[in-house]
Structure 1
């Protein structure tokens, strides 16, 4: 008994396992998924203290203070507002008991140890997160180019003066409305909120 408590206190027993789809409803994170808005669970890792629930919209983290405490804090990281970066996977050595997946989401670092018996499943999650990171980086580049384009267009309009037949106020209003609409359309094009298509590609539930 003492050995078990010491192991829990030191975090030595906090190696995660992958939850099967038929058991999602037995997890805490399942209660906080926005099913009403079309959110779907694709992957859950459960440790003694935490749950890491990957949906098409977000990472839902049920954060435990320690393996000995029942207190939990719910943290939600929507992909639309929290970009994924620096995804890596540390595979198990000969005597290792676990594999480790690492990433940042919204600048918050995560490092999750998982029993190496789930190595194949973790590879699928790794591929999904890497692909999402690539899409996010491409979108960021497109948004930067978009802002450069609108800046160039505004400078051209300013140098050519206002449109003939329109007052300065009318021209300014037309340019402002066009710019707002154009930026919104481009932002919607290069800002993903739903990555279900990526998870579907690699994870077969």
Structure 2
């Protein structure tokens, strides 16, 4: 349901933006607003990702969020620029562990809220999935650009994702590691030109 004209015309309300990034170790819930915003449980058009939760005011660590673009193919790729300080390497350490974010949800909502920080109406803007971030550094700052894609793009464009990377998607799935232990190559015949000896099935294991 779209945010109503009645809410927009009231004099004591403001418009804000909520963001939820489902990092496995520490989910981020933040608000583009002058104060923390609380979403009442059961609010129409909300869900378990926001009901009954408080979104803290975004600080200077989040520099910008790209515009949300919708097309026939779904929501376009969304970029979030995060500023990081070498003196506080927590974000850099998290980025080095793809299992914490790769393929996990990133949500955006537009909200109407009262002056005391209570969300009155909420409208979902985007539901995307985080991918591998990019790093950008200069003499004055270090940025991490986290990109999120819709589900169709996530499964259609899979660069460098192989069966051997199964632990990135499921920490308990060791099948990729196990498969590396059974890779085989033809045995080399002493004095011959290499290749598998005719009439045998002997193989040597790669180390």
User: Which TM class, normalised by the smaller chain length?
Assistant: under 0.3
Higher-Rg member (1/2): 2
Kindly indicate which of the two structures has a greater share of residues assigned to helix.
Answer: 1
TM-score, structure 1 as length reference: 0.26
Q: If the length of structure 2 is used for normalisation, what is the TM-score?
A: 0.26
